Amino acid sequence: MVNWKNLDELASFKALKELPAVDLKTEMTGEKGAERVKAYTVPMAEGLSYNFAAKAVNDDVLAVLQKLADEAQLEDKFAELYNGGMVNTGEKRYVLHHLCRGQLGNDVIADGQNKREFYVEQQNRIAAFAKKVYSGEIANEKGEKFTTVVQIGIGGSDLGPRAMYLALENWAKANGKLKMNAKFISNVDPDDAAAVLNSTDVAHALFILVSKSGTTLETLTNETFVKNALKKEGLDPSKHMIAVTSEASPLAHNEGYLDAFYMDNYIGGRYSSSSAVGGAVLSLAFGPETFAEFLEGMAAEDKTAKETDIRKNPAMLDALIGVYERNVLNYECTAVLPYSQALSRFPAHLQQLDMESNGKSVNRFGEPMNYKTGPILFGEPGTNGQHSFYQLLHQGTNIVPLQFVGFRKNQCGMDDVIEGSTSQAKLCANVAAQIVAFATGKDDDNPNKRFAGNRPSSIIIGDQLTPRTLGALLAHFENKVMFQGFAWNVNSFDQEGVQLGKVLAKKVLAHQTDGALAAYSDLLNI
């Protein structure tokens, strides 16, 4: 039987707090550091590996983290989730994003449907639609092929799909897999939509409207913006738009769209890249076969998350080290630093994934907690970040745990030798140097040139960023966030914190305001 307990009720957590701190600087210096790098590596799916040698842990800490995983029943809770337990207690919903990409557990029957079959059906419908677009069977009013796909959505309808598209765009070009260029409109700021439309041949553009409810203010506003632009060009919007929505939405079965593909309430927006939300745009851009490879990479990594041994379960280990850093070492933030330009928007997606999931101050039963939960997350690709905020990371007063991501090969195949080494070698040299510099620091008589060290980091390493490795990478972080939510005893699958502002914004637009809200409305000339 699964018991949901607060972190501070667990005997293993109390034992964790009593362990002496690990001197990372000593552990990572010299031959001892070299041996540690070899020993502290956990295989992931698709040839990736999670190396945590530069984290401030040792075998004693790991032993207690294993006890915490067992006592908190992390694996049992994951099993309850993928077997159709009502894990989203806040909204009394199943949590089914894993069903979109694999065979982890039981079939789940909800709303009179077999949900596994429902998700597969949507993937198959999207694949068939994409092939008709490529062949010209589905074309614009003049019978000309669509060349660009534009996704209109916000939050999880934008951040994940956009990050995944950018991650694979160069790979697709290098491998002859780019079927259509993709663009994204998210912000209700009209400059966002205008910038995309002004750089798009709208006569040959297919627009995807993504809204689960069909009532999202920003998305419907941008839809109207786009429809007006199409009409100004003498085009019929209904011949240029499809919808991704729920079957109960006003967008479903609507003659205003070429077709509609469906999602449901059991997949939160930030977990929806493997659903029709990501599936439509990624299948159209790269082909349904490429999207299928992405899903296969996610499924392979999901299987590693079923291991009870944390040394065989990289997502659980990563999560528990994060709990140790947050609740014992008292670090407030974490940074995700991909040394891959293709992952330029990956940290932005992880901000929503992590902070919207675990940014909670009450447990899954609505009771206040006496410990910290989700960290503040930020990030930027290396080496750009090195010339931005790394100064604070190296010598600032806050210690920020770091998560590097790196690949041995680039995606484009272009890598000339310049001044004795390739650009990729320079990139990899930088990430290796940063890990050691953060951990070991540097002594100097000049305080301004002194680096204290003991700044923890881990790295996920792969050969190349491909659809499969991208899928495994995304699944790792989704499962890491899930395991941390289980450890903290929060509901990682609702997001009530985003609702209040939406309610007040509607009052402003309806001119139903008073007090400070009215004053700010006047200040902004609403």
- What is the per-residue pLDDT across 232-280, written as a single tens digit (0 to 9) for each? 999 999 999 999 999 999 889 899 999 999 999 999 999 999 999 999 9
Strand extents, DSSP E, 25-71:
41-43, 49-51
What pLDDT was estimated at residue 116? 95
- The answer on pLDDT for 413 being more than 90 is no
AA letter at 374: G
Q: What is the mean pLDDT of residues 490-497?
A: 94
Rounded Cα distance between 417 and 393, Å, is 31
Q: pTM of the predicted model, to two decimals? A: 0.97
103 band by pLDDT with thresholds 50, 70 and 90: confident
| Contacts (Cβ under 8 Å, ≥6 apart) of 520 | none
- Tell me the mean pLDDT in the region 450-474: 98
Give me the chain's average pLDDT, please. 96
Reported as a pLDDT band with limits 50, 70 and 90, residue 214 is confident
Contacts of residue 454, defined as CB under 8 A and 6 or more positions apart, other chains included, come to 23, 24, 25, 56, 399, 439, 441
Q: Which residues are catalytic?
A: 356, 387, 502
What was the pLDDT predicted at 217? Answer: 87
Using pLDDT thresholds of 50, 70 and 90, give the confidence band for residue 5.
very high
What pLDDT does 499 receive? Answer: 85
Q: What per-residue confidence (pLDDT) applies to 215?
A: 84
pLDDT of 343 > 90? The answer is yes
Can you tell me the distance from the alpha carbon of 125 to that of 393, in angstroms, rounded to the nearest whole number? 47
Mean pLDDT of 118-137: 98
Mean pLDDT of the 315-330 span:
98
pLDDT of residue 414: 81
User: What pLDDT is attached to residue 157?
Assistant: 96
Question: Is 3 a residue whose pLDDT tops 90?
Answer: yes
Can you point out the beta strands (E) in 153-233? 181-185, 205-210
Cα diameter, the chain: 74
Q: How confident is the model at residue 216 (pLDDT cuts 50, 70, 90)?
A: confident
User: What pLDDT does residue 498 have?
Assistant: 86
| pLDDT tens profile 271-311 | 999 999 999 999 999 999 999 999 999 999 999 999 999 99
Q: What is the mean pLDDT of residues 163-172?
A: 98
Q: What Å distances lie between residue 361 and 320, 364, 485, 490, CA to CA? A: 19, 10, 12, 8
pLDDT at 181 over 90: yes
Q: Give 3-state DSSP helix, strand, coil % of the chain, rounded to 5.
A: 50, 15, 35
pLDDT mean over 203-218: 93
End-to-end CA distance of the chain: 55
Question: Residue 355 carries which DSSP code?
Answer: I
- Is residue 497 predicted with pLDDT exceeding 90? no
Which pLDDT band holds residue 418 (cuts at 50, 70, 90)?
confident
- Has residue 501 got a pLDDT over 90? no
**pLDDT for the residue numbered 134:** 98
Between the alpha carbon of residue 403 and those of residues 423, 476, 483, the distances in Å are 22, 12, 17
* Predicted pLDDT at 61: 98
pLDDT at 502 over 90: no
Band (pLDDT 50/70/90 cuts) for residue 222 is: very high
Give the separation between CA 121 and CA 169, rounded to whole angstroms.
26
